[in-house]
Amino acid sequence: MRFDILTIFPQLLTSPLEEGIIRRASAAGRISVNIHNIRDFALDKHAMTDDRPFGGGEGMVMKPEPIAGTLKFIEKENPGGRVIFLSPQGDTYTQATAERLAALEHLILLCGRYEGVDERIRENYVDEEISIGDFILTGGELAAMVLIDSVTRLLPGVLGCGDSVENDTFSRGLLKNPQYTRPRDYEGHPVPEVLLSGDHAAIAEWRLITSVRKTLEKRPELLAQAEFNKNELQILKKNNLLEAVAKYKDINRH
């Protein structure tokens, strides 16, 4: 997958791209990330990329010409990318969005600044607006990195264990079950015995039960999208969880 990022602060992005899974994915050729400085496409000698808003008001607005020039340059070199504007006005980013974007080959990420971008860019160049939450950042760069990270880990061959993606929190409408590692006892708090039993069926049942309980406690609305097979429904019923889950999801309680 190819990512192109449009920003006026390219140095903000260099360090995150040089660490961990993102670095390994890039080194392995699974992704390529290209950072474009919007200032390079400004039309005046001072490389201005923003100006005061018509009609008055606070702040500055990013000018259309440098952004359009950058997008046209990318389109000429690598046509067909999907242009995404990271914006608080966009649709809220979810795991389902990440999975949809991971199926594409080329994403172009526009990072806004100040009071936003000239509306003519939104109307004529942007394919989709995405928000990573109902809060305001100083710019779209961190949001772009969130998107790149979450999409990259879904690509084939990026994670060492393919099951990690399938069992992720949000992948099936449930929060992930509690996790433990060595030591077996830490400050008087032992690891649950079932995880040391070697009984894979019992472990799978424990993980399902604890996952459902955690979801009911913290994010019960997620259960509306959760999927359970017949065996799992029986496990929920046996552990007196079926009625609680059924409040959020239309399932056969019997």
Please write the tens of the pLDDT for every residue from 191-213. 999 999 999 999 999 999 999 99
List residues with catalytic annotation: 88, 115, 153, 168
Q: Same structural domain for residues 227 and 148?
A: no
- pLDDT digits 0-9 by tens, 138-179: 999 999 999 999 999 999 999 976 556 665 667 688 999 999
CATH number for the domain including 208?
Answer: 1.10.1270.20
pLDDT of 184: 96
Residues 31 and 146 grouped into a single domain: yes
One domain, residues 144 and 193: no
What is the mean predicted confidence (pLDDT) over 68-82? 97
Query: Do 139 and 84 fall into the same domain?
Result: yes
Q: What is the pLDDT of residue 172?
A: 83
Report the domain count for the chain: 2
Q: Is residue 253 part of a domain?
A: no
| pLDDT tens-digit map of 85-109 | 999 999 999 999 999 999 999 999 9
Shared domain for 59 and 119, answered yes or no, is: yes
Domain range enclosing 84: 2-152
Cβ contacts of residue 76 below 8 Å, gap of 6+?
Answer: none
Percent of the chain with pLDDT over 70: 94
Q: Is residue 200 part of a domain?
A: yes
pTM over 0.85: yes
Domain with residue 62: its CATH number is: 3.40.1280.10
Tell whether 107 and 217 lie within a shared domain.
Answer: no
The contacts of residue 109 (CB under 8 Å, 6+ apart) are 3, 4, 5, 6, 84, 86, 140, 144, 147, 148
Q: Assess whether 29 and 143 both reside in one domain.
A: yes
| pLDDT for the residue 168 | 62
Q: Look over the chain and give the mean of its residue pLDDT values, rounded to a whole number.
A: 94
Report the pLDDT value the prediction gives residue 160, as an integer from 0 to 100.
74
Q: Which ranges in 189-239 belong to alpha helices (H)?
A: 200-218, 230-238
Structural domain contains residue 129: yes
Q: 196 and 111 in one domain?
A: no
Is the pLDDT score of 253 beyond 60?
no
